[in-house]
Structure 1
């Protein structure tokens, strides 16, 4: 390799600074790039550039010739790899969300509380009605009472019970069709 780096090149003033930087970079960059590639970093070129941005201004301080420079370059490269993996470990893994693949299902705290207290979505729907409508529907459906029996229990006429039942059922249909109640 005709442009290989020598100990003499590293002596201050032998080469112009730009030529020295070019020679150091050309000599060591492929090995540093290979090191980063072997260590599995995501962007080895960017990390390599970072190493040389740190090393080149300090070339005049390095002792030990080319071997000392190589040791220094790879100590900086190793430190960058360690830093890289520390960052990767601290950073949460980013994964695109796909709702079709997400099989998690967690009930809301409200739903869980209602289930524990024995209440269900039907209780929530019925609870959204006016009290008289709720009473009529509960007696008709849950109590399985006739219109006449409900009228007797509530002290109303059978016509009033039918009207409250009709309005209550209509209100329930509207609530369900509007999707007001979460499931």
Structure 2
């Protein structure tokens, strides 16, 4: 379906060239943070999300504003379609990726962590689960669950009937629910677990790590073939703790952790001899860490120097 099929309001007057450009620019800027969040949640890559926004902008500038009934819905539709196209090409890229693939971490404002719905929707854990969905399932899930887009609007965006979209949404939700954390903890509980982990990490304290790691913990590390990382996820507190301590290098190497907020959740910025080594995101249940996501690939650490505005509205 072509984006030009958006129904007219019937009452809009044609805009002069300069006025049309100004109006289109104003609308795009007003919704830019939302569009970036949509693209990022679908792709897991800020760089690709920015490319999608550029494509959305170029397409948007060709649209007849007099034919657009709902600018937000129209822009989300364009962004979704461009993201779907890119998702399919990214799948081939990921198949050739060296080791485990993790989403690109984003530094976010502390108040994002207080927005439970937003923080969960962009969490590393959930975005990793979304990687298991097909491109269409991911688009439907993201638009419906995170952005509460109507089934009719989603159907228009993904080129399916509303009935088919409902079935896809149900299937995707069931798949995600089976893999998402059983317990949602508060930001303060997550920070407390992270602080315990940080102390044990900096002290290279094996027992301290075992005390804060859940028995069933899973560690996923992403080095992109550039930095050392486990080729596959590691499961079990003892194996994870020994992998972490064994990978810290010589005792004289200065290792520090800095508490931060990544993807709306408490995280740790790790430095080795003062240089950024990576970002560790966590899952917490029952005061213990059940998931560790360590992004070390330098190409994925470009968005941790400045806060990235994310929004569901």
Q: Relative to total residues, which structure has the larger strand share, 1 or 2?
A: 2
Q: Relative to total residues, which structure has the larger helix share, 1 or 2?
A: 1
TM-score by length of 1: 0.37
Higher relative contact order (CA closer than 8 Å, sequence separation 6+): 2
TM-score by length of 2: 0.24
